[in-house]
Chains A and B, each alone.
Chain A
Amino acid sequence: MDARRTRGRAILGVAAGVVLVPPILSAAAFSLSSRTTEPFLQSPPPEKGSCVEDSAWMRTHHMDYLKQLRDEVVRDGVRGTVSLRTCSECHVEQARFCDKCHEAVDLRPDCWDCHDYSSAEAGAAANPTRGAP
């Protein structure tokens, strides 16, 4: 009886090791390596003035900020304040702004399932293949 239990626990241990150790090792290796660099975000032209908030704040809080704006528009019906168009007036291209950091950390927000980042004209000018079905 005890031999069986020991054998079962050994099997469990080996299975846990096989499943858990490789990802932990590779994550540690990656973070210890010096390959990580900060993505270069295209800066808007200086004549556009300053953004709603500074970069550091935006980097940390843009998710909550966007959700707050979303609830304002959708649930409270308050329109005409900041929107995605406000962002894209200065930070013109999604691929050179939003996608840069998201791709660097392998994050795929589902905003783009429904929303177009920039207006039709700006989007077409920046990226001729967008807008096709």
Chain B
Amino acid sequence: MTRSRRSFLADAGVLTLVGCFAPRLLGTDAPAEGRRRYALLVNLALCNQKPGCQECRIACHEAHNVPSIPDPAREVKWIWKEGFERIFPTEVNPLLPEAVRDFSGPVLCNHCDDPPCVRVCPTGATFVRPDGIVAMDQHRCIGCRYCMAACPYGARSFNFQDPRPFLEATEADYPTRTRGVVEKCDFCSERLGTGRQPACVEACPTQALVFGEVAELAKSISSQRVIRRRPELGTSPHVFYAL
């Protein structure tokens, strides 16, 4: 079977097209100068006006087909609530106000500036976008779970089994994942392109979550103190918690 010259040229054209995008795959880690740098601000005081609230988790998991797996050892979660002592173990001290000690708050991927998970990924399946979002390429992930070992925040989940049987309802306009790949929050990159806010931000009943460029977020801070999780590790996380 001979191939016509035209079909060869067509193949070459497609390959060239694809190849033009190759340099983008070799992006650097830290966002370039002047690029948008997304971050999330969590107002813990506002969040704790509604104790026991799970709206952020529910909205996120519904929007992204995150399965509900009953076994806590195998659960998949992108955003969830933890107690203050677990989120900020080094902040706990004898003079910490009772009220703050009893706080709970959402934890999620921190979309670090210098993410260890991206450094260790052997296939580049997780990578930093120019806008600062630490993204996942589910097509490339080989499921080695090195990123899970590297993440100092426990933000990543692995699909130990096919997630589809554990989906109560399916959001057809968003893919599911398959067994054997790692997943996590990606700052709702599918919504940002169309000018919408992340699902958790939209769903929060007390407007405790504020999302946007880091410089913009500075204007939304009303409290004195803003902290991040485990700053001493040098990851420069971009989920900020206002006490």
Contacts and interface: CB of A to CB of B under 8 A. Distances in A.
A–B contact at 8 Å CB threshold (below): yes
Interface of A: 57, 60-61, 64-65, 67-68, 70-72, 74-77, 79-80, 85, 110, 113-116, 118-120, 123, 131, 133
A119 B172 contact: yes
Of the four ranges (under 10, 10 to 19, 20 to 34, 35 or more), the interface on chain B belongs to 35 or more
B38 to A, nearest CB: 11
A72 B193 CA distance: 13
Given A77-B129, A115-B175, A123-B172, A68 B10 contact: no
Contacts of A70: 139
Contacts, number: 75
Contact of A68 (B21, B131, B139, B173): B21
Majority-rule SS of B interface residues = loop
Contact of A120 (B21, B129, B133, B173): B173
A76 B172 contact: no
| Nearest 9 interchain pairs by C-beta | A120-B172, A79-B193, A113-B178, A114-B175, A116-B172, A115-B175, A64-B14, A68-B18, A74-B137
Majority-rule SS of A interface residues = helix
Contact of A133 (B15, B170, B189, B193): B170
B129 A116 contact: no
B127 interface: yes
Contacts of B184: none
A133 B138 contact: no
B25 interface: yes
B32 to A, nearest CB: 14
B99 interface: no
B72 interface: no
